[in-house]
């Protein structure tokens, strides 16, 4: 009997795209001394979420334009879950949560996270049964040079716990997507990209997500 192996499927977001912040142990430990300070005065008790709006979507192979006032951007390599009709994840996809560098680790302003083109999307999604989410390792390269490895074994909340905690206050709808978190470097920052750089994000079993960063001039990106 021949075993059927699910093939990767083309993917484009159909619902709301959410992302989880502070979900890696390294970043949590680095930020912990700041957490008792104003205005929050304590560590977050529930998952910290943000939204990536539809204007941010850029396909793999597409170019991401930097605003004219921005020299570099943060690279946020992520594994994302895609949800089915029963509020459960049915597939995974690689994404690059691009952001203008900022200090607000709790509630980053929309103007830093939701710039046009600032979410690189893997071309294909894989069925959830094909992926051991908490064992996935992402490799990030800039211009062919490895700059980071992100292991989902190192999260604060493992994927099932993250979903359970979020589900206490909201219900995912079919087509929604949840970015499971991006890690920082040992210095607390994320890898950076500037105009002219090519960023690749790879994980075993997935097609590599590739985006080139370009300058923005009057009339569009070049």
CA distance 9 to 127: 8
The domains of the chain are located at: 9-221
Q: pLDDT in tens for each of the 222 residues of the chain?
A: 333 333 445 678 999 999 999 999 999 999 999 888 877 788 889 999 999 999 999 999 999 999 999 999 999 999 999 999 999 999 999 999 999 998 876 677 789 999 999 999 998 899 999 999 999 999 999 999 999 999 999 999 999 999 999 999 999 999 999 999 999 999 999 999 999 999 999 999 999 999 999 998 534 444
Give the bridge partners for 74, in sequence order.
99, 192
Does the N-terminal peptide bond of residue 131 adopt cis geometry, omega within 30 degrees of 0?
Answer: no
pLDDT at 221: 46
Query: Of 85, 93, 81, 80, which is closest to residue 174 (Cα–Cα)?
Result: 85
Surface-to-core class of residue 220, CB atoms within 10 Å of its CB (0-12 exposed, 13-18 middle, 19+ buried): exposed
Strand partners, 139: 149, 202
The tokens of 210 are what?
Answer: 């590739």
What is the pTM for the complete model shown? 0.91
- Give the sign of the dihedral formed by CA 45, CA 79, CA 203, CA 186: negative
Please name the fold of domain 9-221.
Answer: Fumarylacetoacetate hydrolase; domain 2 (3.90.850)
Q: Rounded CA gap, 20 and 180, in Å?
A: 6
Q: Are 138 and 154 in contact (CB under 8 A)?
A: no
Instruction: For residues 92 and 178, give the distance between their C-alpha atoms in angstroms, rounded to a whole number.
Output: 9
Please choose, from the candidates 149, 120, 143, the residue with its C-alpha nearest in 3D space to the C-alpha of residue 198: 143
In this prediction, residue 10 carries a pLDDT of: 63
């Amino acid at each position: 009997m021949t075993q059927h192996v699910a093939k990767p499927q083309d993917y484009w977001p159909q619902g709301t795209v959410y992302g989880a912040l502070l979900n890696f142990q390294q970043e949590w430990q680095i930020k912990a001394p700041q957490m008792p300070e104003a205005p929050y005065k304590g560590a977050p008790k529930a998952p910290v979420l943000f939204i990536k709006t539809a204007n941010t979507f850029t396909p793999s192979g597409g170019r991401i334009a930097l605003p004219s006032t921005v020299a570099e951007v943060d690279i946020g390599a992520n594994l994302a879950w895609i949800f089915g009709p029963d509020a459960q994840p049915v597939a995974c996809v690689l994404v690059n949560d691009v952001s203008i560098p900022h200090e607000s680790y709790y509630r980053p302003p929309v103007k830093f996270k939701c710039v046009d083109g600032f979410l690189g999307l893997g071309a294909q999604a894989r069925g959830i049964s094909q992926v051991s989410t908490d064992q996935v390792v992402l490799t990030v390269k800039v211009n062919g040079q490895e700059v980071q490895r992100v292991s989902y074994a190192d999260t604060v909340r493992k994927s099932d716990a993250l979903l359970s905690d979020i589900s206490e206050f909201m219900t995912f709808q079919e087509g929604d997507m949840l970015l499971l978190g991006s890690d920082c470097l040992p210095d607390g920052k994320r890898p950076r990209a500037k105009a002219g750089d090519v960023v690749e994000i790879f994980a075993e079993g997935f097609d590599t997500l590739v985006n080139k960063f370009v300058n923005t001039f009057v009339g569009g990106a070049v």
